[in-house]
Structure 1
Amino acid sequence: MDFKTVVFNAARDGNLTRLKAYLHSWRSADELNMFVGAKVGGATPLVIACRNGHYDVAEYLIERCKADIEQPGSVTFDGETIEGAPPLWCAAAAGHLPLVKLLVRAGANVNSTTRTHSTPLRAACFDGHYDIVKFLVENGADIEIANRHGHTCLMIACYKGHIRIAKYLLSLSADVNRKSVKGNTALHDCAESGSLHILKMLLGHGATMDVDSYGMTPLLAASVTGHTHIVEHLINVEYGLVTRQQRIDALELLGATYVDKRRDMVGALTLWKRAMDDRFPADGVDSEPIPKPKDVPRIEAYDFAVEPSNAQQLEELLADPDAMRMQALVIRERILGPAHPDTSYYVRYRGAVYADAGRFARCRQLWHHALDMQRAVLPPLSPLTQSSLYSFAELFSYMLAERARPPLRGRIIPPVTFEDIDPVFRKALSEINRGMELLDSKLSIDREQTLTTLQRVLVICLHLAALMARLLEEPECTEDVSRKIHKAVYSLVKLDIKVRQGRSALHVACSAESCRGGAARGGAGGAGAAGGAAAGESAACCGALVALMLRLGAAPDARDADGNTPLHLVCKLNPCPADVVRELLNHGAHIDTVNYEGETPEEILKSTQQTLTSIVNPLRYTTLKCLAARTVKNYRLPYRHVVPQCLHSTVITH
């Protein structure tokens, strides 16, 4: 263990005796500064001491060792790594008031920020450390500094439900109507978290019912999250905060939340009846009826459901739970619109529930609708679109895996057909095309990040292609289906796509990235049966897919930015898939091609304790031309004016 690690561990553990023993012998100020300022795991000894609340260690590092009180580091809170956190931020976030006072006395900047522009004050507000909040404000902390998302101290206190801190910030005239980058206010955050007490305080300080970037008011935010008490308070006619139409929308949306989130059909029906009564009042000043919109399209995925227009039709819904669920989806899409994440989330959730019940056709129908909504309103390669595509791949993999097992309690899994996979595959290809167009455009984008997300979508597309390749091996696969599969996969091969590190589709199909899966699982699509088998389990580095891509023209000798061919990448896998190696070699891959590090596939295999001879007979794939090229290369023989120009590339690759 090196010296800086020993010093760091002593600071982390709060072992002042050991720390003094190691640092006391260093007489040179430069040497002392070097060890005190050195980072282990991204954090300095002072940063980690402040994070863990070791006052005596921090005091020693500051006063005796002259540690830099502003030098930031990386620390972890609740499983999340915070980059660029100054010592004061760490102490404030962890709730160590004595350390906060020590650092401020030493001259620490109370408004220093992390890499995401979070201040020590905001960190203290997040976890409800009132005494630290008060101390920082009294020592010059700015209550209006927002993080990179535009979230202020008041917003985070409201969202986390810290009443005392919210009241204190309001007493300092914090801006109650300030908006974040996405347009939400403190009232939105309060409505989402469900704190009625704070909500009343905000309203008392002049908070208004603004809309965010999705057109959501705090009232609708409370309806989406299911906070009935917040909704009831805001729609109370005595306050005059909302219009009649807003009140109706809130009740209808809250009813949809009761169906999908609480599974409370009776409660939902009660709310929808209240909204209906508000639409068609029997008498009173507001007697003008407000009928439901007539131009709302009837959607096949929702069984062409039409919203009831009277109380009798509402009553009839209760006898049909499926109809109630479709009503919830119709209402949510009408009120929130297709761009709101919750709209597609609950469509996907409902589809996953159908998949768990064995109703796979209904699941696919709903998921296609959610995917189409996402692709229509979201930017290319959106994480939400990726998640939807990946859920389809998981679903198909699960169905194929389950069909190979004996039926469980008589449950019959229907076959996965080309007609099931192809529409999803085409939509995935469309996303890849959109991503490539984005890369080719002159728009200002993070090119590396775009290539990363493009690769994720490509991996999903390859998983879907691998599932189709598996269908070719089925005895019932007809010539017509075979032709369609070849045509579909050819459309991917001919794109000649290049992603991170200059890798082709064949490179990715043969790499570890393919084995890890295409996108982070999340959202509603990973529920139950639909999430029971990752797509990577049946599709990663699939020999049938590689063989199909090679037959359709994928280049076996293509090189990435490191000079690796697909064969190099396959040989890095442990265990190495022998069928893929053989397919690459049978289609012209060279067994002795060197990458830019001078490594051959055989040498890479040896580094993973595997041997090429256990997979193939190397002599079968070694030509006289290869041996001659290797001899020229190994003995550094002059060849440029000796062998024909057309053979130069052969010598170079060996």
Structure 2
Amino acid sequence: MSCELLKNYCSNLIHESRVFYFARDGMAMSLYTILADLDLEQVRKLLNKQVVDAEGQRCTPLIIAAHHGHDKVVKVLLKFPVDLEQEGLVKLNSFTVKGASALWCAAGSGHLNVVKTLVKAGADVNHATHTMSTPLRAACFEGRLDIVQYLYDHGADIHKANIFNNSCLMLAAYKGHLDVVSYLLEKGADPMQHAKCEGTVLHYAAENGNVEVIKELLNHGAVMTKNNYGLTPVLVAAERTRAAAVEYFVTRPELSLEEKIDALELLGASFACDKDNYDLTKASHYLERSMDMRYSDPDNIIRKPKFTPIPAYQNWIESQTPEDVRALRLNGNSLYNEALTVRERILGSNNPEVPAAVVYRGAIFADHANFHRCIDLWLHALHLSQSNRVCVSKDLLRFAQIFSQMIYLDEYLKFSHVEEVLAAAVLEFERNKERIEINKQLGEDTTSLQERVESNVITALYILVILTKVMKLCDETEGYRVRQLIFRLNKLRVTSRQGQTLLHLCLDSETPVDNFHTNDVCKFPCLATAKLLIQCGADVNAMDSSRNTPLHVIVCVQKPINDYLTVHSIIKELTEAGAHIDTVNKDGKTPFEAATRGVAEIILSMQRQLSLKCMAAKVVKQNNIPYQGLVPKALESFIELHGTVSRRKKKKYMRLVARHRKLYRSNLHECLQL
């Protein structure tokens, strides 16, 4: 790069930075001064270029100015050639919003003056984000009636829903903004529109619990229907412990006596299980009140429906009489079992809200060192979630933490429990992989799924380490079953974003270890886990994104003197399992050349016995001898292990392949079969 080009490049970077930060900080005069001195093409490039700030937002100067409510800056920018509809990535109320326009940001951040300025300049009032959220929806979220009115008056579509068919009215009701709800209803918003989950506006209002919003909706023709999980609005309110809303609903003539009983029963059960609104007094009150309603007519007692007892709840059978339910006040454990059973009966096992309360109750047991009750509850919650195909990443980590705590405290840990969690982890990986493939076929983003997989890979590794600690407790059949699971896991070839397999991570001293009890048990490199993975089919020659094999990883361990026996044993295990000591990484280094400490070099030198096949492959790679299409596919991948080719050499190599295909076929094939 010439000095002049370098100077121009640096100048552009300075201008870009200044323009963006002047816009962000509301420095209108400074911004105008710098833009006025540039030619039109430079200005166009600067104003329409996205900049990534310290918060990870990706915005143009106009978007960031609108986001921060700098009306004067926006007016300055509009004097120049700026794209009103350009989209960015912004963060608002802890949400990351992709595809947000300047108008959307102004509306969502509550800046009416900026909204007016942009609309007058011709901004599209219905420009939606990637999830089909409009500026009007953003204003409804914030409860800004003034912005809602202005946007509606200038053509905003109040009927436009997001990708979940969730309307602006639903959002306003969910947030409890009565004035916005009333305005939207007045303008013709449909109170009976259904979201994809079949929830209506009334369901969302019930979830918030604002009684005045509920009344307003009912006065405008809203009707109580069931959503996909079979829940009416009153049951939604009860599950969320919205007592005032439930009390109002049970006065309505639309509800039958049985529906009112279920609502009050669920409300009481939820008060006993809700971590944010935990209240045993209210729990007892509503459970007793609902039972009294069952017995309100001695000639027509409303019995509870039969429900199969659940082992995780100690096979609890629900109270059947007023005396039974009042006796619960004397025994906290009985009250909790009653509450969990009631919730699962009324909500249904397929309801995604059921596991949260079960997990919370289990956590209480864990805090009191009652680990086995905790595990019973958490396993039940895990199976409920997986049966409904809900992500269980957090559940798996939770198990790794409590298992580690138990081992550290020398508490008895059942092998079958660890096996059960490992099986759940394998199933989760299979579903993750399936979902990623579907998303790729549909052209959808897989970033969040890949992040989930990486999190699960690390957690699965913790579980494998824990498994090695309890293997001595298993019999031959259990050992066979768990090895089958690990074989399935290895076959899935799950990796981190850097392409590291479980074996790579197991040998890497830099592998992250969760610090909530897990770090008391899981330390890397781990010989026992490495042996288990290798015995169950882990690829000892797998390469990460830097072409490092597990052997490259272990020879780079930072403290080999402290772990001499571990490093020595792992290298021996790898080489005996077929690890090639002459494979090269992205830097062209073999494990011996990549070793960062003398101890690892000494250990590795004891294993340096190259086969003739390896030597031949190395010669092929070092001399760029054509082989692709000339040897069997299996040999192609074998040769690939033994060296890298630069882009320039690759082009030359491809020409040689075409020229010498017949010449090398027989000799090369013969040599590599030795």
Same fold (TM over 0.5): yes
Residue in 2 that maps onto 1:593: 583
Tell me the SS of whatever aligns to 1:76.
strand
- Shift of residue 136 of structure 1? 0.6
2:641 partner amino acid: T
Distance in 2 (alpha carbons) for counterparts of 1:512 and 1:400:
21
1:653 and 2:641 aligned: yes
- Residues 49 and 532 (structure 1), Cα distance of their counterparts in 2 relative to 1, 3 Å cut: same
Letter in 2 for 1:290: I
In structure 2, what is the equivalent of residue 620 of structure 1?
606
Change (3 A) 1:567 1:554: same
SS of corresponding position for 1:333: helix
> Deviations 1:467-513 (Å, cap 9, x if unpaired)?
111346xxxx46x6588547623531355222357765434545799
* Residue in 2 that maps onto 1:525: none
**Residue type matched to 1:594 in 2?**
V
Per the TM alignment, residue 311 of structure 1 is displaced from its structure 2 partner at its CA by 1.1
* Cα deviation 1:560-585 (Å, max 9, x = unaligned): 57644234566788789884686146
* 1:295-348 alpha-carbon deviations (Å, 9 max, x no partner): x11122212211111111112221111000000001000000011122111111
TM (norm. structure 1) is: 0.83
Q: How far apart are 1:13 and its partner, in Å?
A: 1.3
Q: Compute the displacement of 1:621 (Å).
A: 3.9
Residue 263 (structure 1) shift: 4.0
The 5 Å alignment of 1:52-131 reads 52-63=68-79, 65-131=80-146
Could you say if the C-alpha distance between residues 67 and 364 of structure 1 is closer, same or farther in structure 2, counting changes exceeding 3 Å?
same
Counterpart amino acid of 2:406?
M
Deviations, residues 163-188 of structure 1 (Å, cap 9, x unaligned): 22112112112111111121222211
- Cα deviation, 1:45-70, whole Å, max 9, x if unaligned, reads 1000101111121111112x121111
TM-superposition CA deviations, 1:369-394 (whole Å, max 9, x none): 22222233x13xx31x3332322111
1:211-222 matches, within 5 Å, as 211-222=226-237
User: Deviations along 1:234-259, whole A, 9 cap, x unmatched?
Assistant: 101xx302111110100100010121
Partner of 1:260, secondary structure, is coil
Could you tell me which amino acid in structure 2 is paired with residue 466 of structure 1? Answer: V
User: 1:61, 1:33 → 2: CA distance?
Assistant: 10
Moved more, 618-627 or 114-123: 618-627
Q: Does 1:26 align with 2:38?
A: yes
Amino acid at match of 1:416: L
**After the TM superposition, which of the residue ranges 35-44 and 269-278 deviates more from structure 2?**
269-278
CA distance in 2, matches of 1:444, 1:635: 39
2:267 counterpart letter in structure 1: L
Distance 1:612 1:482 in 2: 40
Q: Is the 8 A contact 1:452 1:499 kept in 2?
A: no
* 1:393 and 1:535 in contact (8 A); partners too: no
Pairwise CA distance, 1:595: 3.7
In structure 2, the CA distance between the partners of 1:270 and 1:639, relative to structure 1 (3 Å rule), is closer
Mark the CA change 1:84 to 1:540 in structure 2 (over 3 Å): closer, same or farther.
Answer: farther
**Corresponding residue to 2:365 among 354, 358, 365:** 354
Amino acid at match of 2:619: V
The answer to which of 215-224 and 570-579 deviates more is 570-579
What do residues 372-426 of structure 1 show as CA deviations (whole Å, max 9, x unaligned)?
22233x13xx31x3332322111101222344xxxxxxxxxx2334244223223
**Overall identity of the aligned pairs, in %:** 32
Instruction: Tell me the matched-pair count.
Output: 608
d(CA) in 2 for partners of 1:360 and 1:25? Answer: 70
Question: Does the 8 Å CA contact 1:224/1:254 hold for their aligned counterparts?
Answer: yes
Change (3 A) 1:539 1:143: farther
1:483/1:267 CA distance change after superposition, 3 Å: closer
SS in 2 for 1:215: coil
Q: Is the 8 A contact 1:632 1:639 kept in 2?
A: no
What residue is the counterpart of 1:548 in the other structure? 532
Q: Spell out the pairing of 1:197-596 with structure 2 (5 A cutoff).
A: 197-236=212-251, 239-261=252-274, 262-282=277-297, 288-294=300-306, 296-376=307-387, 378-379=388-389, 382-383=390-391, 385-403=392-410, 414-432=411-429, 448=446, 453=452, 456-471=455-470, 477=472, 484-485=478-479, 488-493=482-487, 496-499=491-494, 504-507=501-504, 509-510=506-507, 515=512, 532-534=516-518, 538=522, 542-559=526-543, 563-568=547-552, 579=566, 583-584=570-571, 586-588=573-575, 589-595=579-585
Give the aligned residue type for 2:415. F
TM-fit CA distance, 1:38: 0.7
C-alpha contact (below 8 Å) 1:259/1:265 kept by paired residues: yes
Q: Under a length normalisation based on structure 2, what TM-score does the superposition of the two structures give?
A: 0.81
Aligned equivalent of 1:520: none
Shift of the 597–177 alpha-carbon distance from structure 1 to 2, 3 Å rule, reads farther
Q: Secondary structure at the match of 1:74?
A: strand
The amino acid that maps onto 1:341 is: P
Distance 1:15 1:537, change over 3 A: farther
- Residues 325/112 of structure 1: CA separation in 2 closer, same or farther (3 Å cut): same
**1:508-567 superposed Cα distances (whole Å, 9 cap, x missing partner):** 5457996367xxxxxxxxxxxxx9424797266533201222244422113457644234
Could you say what secondary structure the match of 1:309 adopts? Answer: coil
Once residues 513 and 8 of structure 1 are traced to their aligned partners in structure 2, the CA distance between those partners, rounded to angstroms, is 38
